[in-house]
Structure 1
Amino acid sequence: MAGERNTNTPASQGAAQSLDQFKYEVANEMGLQLGGDRTSRENGSVGGQMTKRMIQFAEEHLKGGTRI
């Protein structure tokens, strides 16, 4: 809802800054600028792409027996 605060907390120290940087890298690769003047679909597609990449990363490391 409008005016609600984000209560999500990262699982580890420093994760918020890394995720924020990752978000802007993904948006840049997609040719998008994030912001309040963009549609929910545009901003949301960046989050979806981030999730896809993080899952792919985890699956690759699990296949190789590497602990993340």
Structure 2
Amino acid sequence: MASRSSNTLVVPQASQALDQLKYEVAQELGIQIPQDGYYGNMATRDTGAIGGHITRRLVQIAEQAMAGNQR
């Protein structure tokens, strides 16, 4: 099934890393991601929790990178 997302990655190679991050976060939260890639049967609360934690983690990574460049 093709993705219908209108989001485009600035660095296309980041897709695999973001996908891996999604599975890591879901595992940490105890949420099972469907193997077929269809999220329609998942609760909105679960998908939102995954997205929120991914965003927090990406902001944290960026802050650490910026702090490292300040030194």
TM-score by length of 2: 0.74
1:1-68 equivalent positions in 2, closer than 5 A: 5-34=4-33, 35-65=39-69
Which amino acid in structure 1 is aligned with residue 12 of structure 2?
Q
How many corresponding residue pairs?
62
User: Larger RCO: Structure 1 or Structure 2 (Cα < 8 Å, ≥ 6 residues apart)?
Assistant: 2
Percent of matched pairs sharing the same residue: 44
The Cα RMSD (Å) is 1.5
> Please, which runs of 5 or more residues in structure 2 have no aligned partner?
34-38
Q: Deviations over 1:5-60 (max 9, x none)?
A: 21211111211121111101110111111233221111110010000011011111
The structural deviation recorded for 1:65 is 1.5
Runs (4+) off by over 4 Å: none
**TM-score, normalised relative to structure 1:** 0.77
